[in-house]
Amino acid sequence: MVTFGGIFCVVILAVMLPCLDVALGQSTDPSEVDALGAIKGSLLDPMNNLENWNRGDPCTSNWTGVFCHIINDALHVTELQLFKRNLSGTLAPEVSLLSQLKTLDFMWNNLTGSIPKEIGNITTLKLILLNGNQLSGFLPDEIGNLQNLNRLQIDQNQILGPIPKSFANLRHVKHLHMNNNSLSGKIPSELWRIPLLLHLLVDNNNLSGPLPTELAKAPALKIFQADNNNFSGSSIPATYSNIKTLLKLSLRNCNLQGAIPDLSAISELGYLDLSWNKLTGPIPTNQLASNITTLDLSHNMLNGTVPLNFSGLPNLQLLSVENNRLDGAVPSEIWNDIVLTGNRSLVLDFQNNSLKTIPAAFNPPQNVTVMLYGNPVCGNSSGAPIDSLCQPQSVNQQTSRQQQDSSLICSPCPSDKNYEYNPSSPIPCFCAVPLGVGIRLKSPGITDFNPYEGAFGDSTTSLLKLYIYQLHVEHYIWEVGPRLNMHLKLFPSNTSLFNMSEVVRLQHVLAGWEITLPDIFGPYELLNFTLGSYVDGISK
């Protein structure tokens, strides 16, 4: 298999620009040609991926990763798509001379140095995609000038220093993904003023407290994930119960103290992780939103009893209160309103508390796992039917799934061009050449993907304008975060090969975040796009 490596701007140009313009001999704005020269000059390109960046005109001679449009009768570079090209070196400040740039994509390379402050001059920028590099230095305040910015992805770098207050000016930004860096200082309280902010991911940094109470005024916030920072001395602001749009709050291992506020008023809350803190007092008893799938309060110092209102949560997948100081009875009604059909399951982890009694008839249904190890109730009842629930266990949802092998019943496909069976095809044993797509859900609102796989397939195919049988989720695996890493295969519809414009369309839609998955799946990131034998078609 050959990972995407072709010169697909060729096709984009052919598709998007009237051929006439090229024929008229139009050429790229000269300052932009210079800018591309400077950008190449400060990159290291050991695999010669930018070999053709000195041949003819960037926009009309098919330079790798350069996409152009005609704006005000002149050819301008609008996208730099240099996703996973084995590039290192630095990002030249001259990038700011690309005055009509909308997408700056250097994801999954090895760029070093800092993000140049001149980037703040490119007022047209919509997507800054620099995740998965080795960038260091501070975040420039000037990014706050980018009034059209929709998405800032700088996760998985080594960026230092504070989150600039100027980000409050990003009128159009929806996604701030800054996890896995070395950001420090407070989360600026001004961020609540970003009117469209949906996803704020700052987990795995070195941020300190307090958590901004003002964030509660954020008008659109759905996901706030800040695990593995040190908000020492800070408690969870009670005002967070006012974030009506909040779907996920994840503050694991943040050195938080104090009581858990009553979050029952957040009607969309689907995922709450407050584990590995120093939270004290009782668990609030009011009924949480019916959408909740995951509730992890483990490894705190909570006391009192397990609230009766944990029953009647129809979407619950995981309730963990492991390693606290809870006493009283083991609740026996939690699963009552859950329809456990198909591959639906529920894990209830009560290990290492002080639960002393259990109802006489304690009979959890199949697919409900109850963990009681480390509670006095286990010692009290030797030989009782609950003994099997008293063994030490770790929460072990189905963590991965491998491909089913259909080749056993079908005769082999032709071996040229990477033909494969489409396991979902309505025509049995139909050989076709798939595209491979590695994606990762960065902050999903679920703990068990199994019951959601159907919904994921339905929405992904409908957003990509494919039939449901054109998608095969080959395998998935949960990674730390938790994040869900998946490999998808996209098959042509009842023919063996996609045509090239379809290949380009799919790549562009996925890499440009032109689709939005349902909220429950959270943000996704593209890890790879495997062209396989289509690479020949694309690089002619």
Ligand X SMILES: *[C@@H]1O[C@H](CO)[C@@H](O)[C@H](O)[C@H]1NC(C)=O
Q: In whole angstroms, how close is the CB of 198 to ligand X at the nearest point? A: 15
Name the residue nearer to ligand X (CB basis): 86 or 494. Answer: 86
Q: Interacting stretch for ligand X, rule CB under 6 A, among 20-28, 63-71, 388-396, 527-535?
A: 527-535
- Regarding 175 and contact with ligand X (CB under 6 A), the answer is no
Q: Residues 6 or more apart from 179 whose CB is under 8 A from it?
A: 155, 156, 201, 202, 203, 204, 205, 225, 442
Site for ligand X, residues 100 to 119, rule: CB under 6 A: 108-110, 117-118
- Regarding 232 and contact with ligand X (CB under 6 A), the answer is yes
**Rounded to 5°, angle at Cα 249 from 247 and 251:** 170
- Regarding 86 and contact with ligand X (CB under 6 A), the answer is yes
Kindly tell me which residue out of 34, 41, 56, 337 binds ligand X, with binding defined by CB under 6 A.
Answer: 56
- Regarding 16 and contact with ligand X (CB under 6 A), the answer is no
- Regarding 210 and contact with ligand X (CB under 6 A), the answer is no
Name the residue nearer to ligand X (CB basis): 322 or 474. Answer: 474
Q: Residues 6 or more apart from 248 whose CB is under 8 A from it?
A: 222, 223, 224, 225, 269, 270, 271, 272, 443, 445, 522
Q: In whole angstroms, how close is the CB of 494 to ligand X at the nearest point? A: 26
Distances 139 to 187, 453, 469 between C-alpha atoms, Å: 14, 37, 44
By beta-carbon distance, which residue lies closest to ligand X? 438
Q: In whole angstroms, how close is the CB of 158 to ligand X at the nearest point? A: 10
Name the residue nearer to ligand X (CB basis): 340 or 384. Answer: 340
Q: Interacting stretch for ligand X, rule CB under 6 A, among 18-26, 80-88, 458-466, 507-515?
A: 80-88
Contact code string over 280-319 relative to ligand X, x by CB under 6 A = xx---xxx--xx-----------xx--xxx----------
Alpha-carbon gap, residue 396 to 104, rounded angstroms: 39
- How many CB atoms lie under 10 A from the CB of residue 286? 11
DSSP-derived secondary structure letter, 208 = B
In contact, 494 and 395? CB cutoff 8 Å: no
Q: What is the DSSP string of 112-164?
A: -S---GGGGG-TT--EEE--SS---SBPPGGGGG-TT--EEE--SS--EEPPP
Coil vs helix vs strand at 529: strand
Name the residue nearer to ligand X (CB basis): 142 or 349. Answer: 142
Kindly tell me which residue out of 8, 10, 272, 469 binds ligand X, with binding defined by CB under 6 A.
Answer: 10
Q: What is the DSSP string of 220-287?
A: S--EEE--S-B-TT----GGGGG-TT--EEE-TTS--EEPPP--TT-TT--EEE--SSEEEEPPP-SP
In contact, 262 and 283? CB cutoff 8 Å: no
174 exposure class (CB count in 10 Å sphere: 0-12, 13-18, 19+): buried
Name the residue nearer to ligand X (CB basis): 117 or 172. Answer: 117
In contact, 272 and 295? CB cutoff 8 Å: yes
Contact code string over 427-446 relative to ligand X, x by CB under 6 A = ---------x-x--------
- Regarding 45 and contact with ligand X (CB under 6 A), the answer is no
> What's the length of the chain?
540
Beta strands 206-207 and 223-225, pairing class: unpaired
Q: Interacting stretch for ligand X, rule CB under 6 A, among 78-86, 316-324, 330-338, 490-498?
A: 78-86
Name the residue nearer to ligand X (CB basis): 121 or 424. Answer: 121
133: left (phi over 0), alpha (psi -120 to 50) or beta: beta
- How many CB atoms lie under 10 A from the CB of residue 495? 11
**Rounded to 5°, angle at Cα 254 from 194 and 181:** 65
Kindly tell me which residue out of 43, 211, 377, 520 binds ligand X, with binding defined by CB under 6 A.
Answer: 520
Q: In whole angstroms, how close is the CB of 217 to ligand X at the nearest point? A: 21
Kindly tell me which residue out of 28, 61, 157, 422 binds ligand X, with binding defined by CB under 6 A.
Answer: 61
Report H helices in 471-530: 500-511
Q: How many residues bind ligand X (CB under 6 A)?
A: 62
Contact code string over 469-508 relative to ligand X, x by CB under 6 A = -----------x----x-x---------------------
Kindly tell me which residue out of 182, 239, 354, 494 binds ligand X, with binding defined by CB under 6 A.
Answer: 182
Binding stretches for ligand X (CB under 6 A): 1, 3, 5, 10, 14, 47, 49, 56, 61-62, 84-86, 96, 108-110, 117-118, 120-121, 142, 156, 180, 182, 184, 204, 206, 208, 228, 230, 232, 255, 264, 267-268, 280-281, 285-287, 290-291, 303-304, 307-309, 343, 345, 366-367, 436, 438, 480, 485, 487, 520, 527-528, 530, 540
